[in-house]
């Protein structure tokens, strides 16, 4: 084993890089991608300079793994921008401030409104069906309303 490590060739590094990239495809979540790229880079460097000592090859592999991972991490952080539609996946948020007619009377603090093509459960003071209410908030799937 020791003899093998002392005589690494560019094929060994390219094989390691390919293996890591294949494992990445099976769901490593990006962790093996940059280590695989670093192994491939060491393979290219070893192809250009085949007399490179094995310890320097491993050192290059470690440094390139860290550099590529940090580079990608910084790039991802700088590319993250707040959404132009912050309530996109929060369906009830779009109804806050709007008025609706009660579809079912609010009795015991619960009732229903028709908003868009759906019926929504609402909480608020007891009111008869057909009354106008304004949505003032959301608690999970329940909309909080007040008389309009």
**Tens of pLDDT along 66-125?**
999 898 888 888 877 777 776 667 778 889 999 999 999 999 999 999 988 889 999 999
Domain boundary (79, 100, 129) is at 79
Q: Residue 133: which residues within 8 A CB-CB, separation 6 or more?
A: 99, 100, 101, 102, 106, 113, 122, 124, 127, 145, 146, 147, 148
Residues 114 and 136 in one domain: yes
Residue 9 shares a structural domain with residue 75? yes
The CB-side HSE value for 147 (13 A sphere, CA atoms) comes to 7
Question: What percentage of the chain has pLDDT greater than the value 90?
Answer: 57
Q: Which residue has the tokens 């590319």?
A: 79
Kindly state the tokens that stand for 67: 């550099």
On whether both 67 and 134 belong to a single domain, the answer is no
Between 59 and 115, residue with greater pLDDT: 59
Domain boundary among 34, 55, 79: 79
Higher per-residue pLDDT: 87 or 8: 8
User: Average pLDDT of 45-73?
Assistant: 92
Band of residue 2 on the pLDDT scale cut at 50, 70, 90? confident
Q: Which residue has the higher pLDDT, 5 or 115?
A: 115
Domain end, chosen from 25, 51, 79, is at 79
Is residue 60's pLDDT more than 70?
yes
Q: What is the reported pLDDT for 78?
A: 82
- Per DSSP, helices labelled H in the chain are 2-6, 10-25, 31-48, 54-79
Name the pairing type of β-strands 118-123 and 110-115. Answer: antiparallel
Coil, helix or strand for 93? helix
Tell me the residue range of the domain where 117 lies: 91-147
pLDDT attached to residue 101: 94
pLDDT given at position 43: 95
125 within a domain of the structure (yes/no): yes
**pTM score above 0.75:** no
């Amino acid at each position: 084993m020791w003899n093998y490590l002392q005589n690494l060739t560019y094929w060994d590094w390219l094989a390691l890089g390919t293996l890591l990239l294949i494992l990445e495809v099976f769901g490593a979540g990006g962790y093996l991608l940059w280590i695989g790229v670093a192994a491939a880079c060491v393979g290219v460097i070893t192809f250009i300079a085949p007399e490179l000592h094995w310890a320097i090859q491993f050192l290059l592999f470690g440094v390139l793994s860290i550099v590529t991972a940090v580079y990608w991490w910084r790039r991802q952080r700088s590319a993250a921008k707040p959404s132009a539609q912050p309530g996109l996946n929060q369906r009830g948020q779009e109804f806050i401030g709007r008025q609706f007619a009660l579809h079912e009377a609010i009795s015991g603090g619960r009732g229903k409104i028709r908003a868009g093509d759906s019926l929504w459960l609402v909480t608020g003071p007891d009111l008869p069906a057909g009354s106008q209410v304004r949505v003032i908030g959301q608690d999970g799937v329940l909309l909080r309303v007040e008389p309009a």
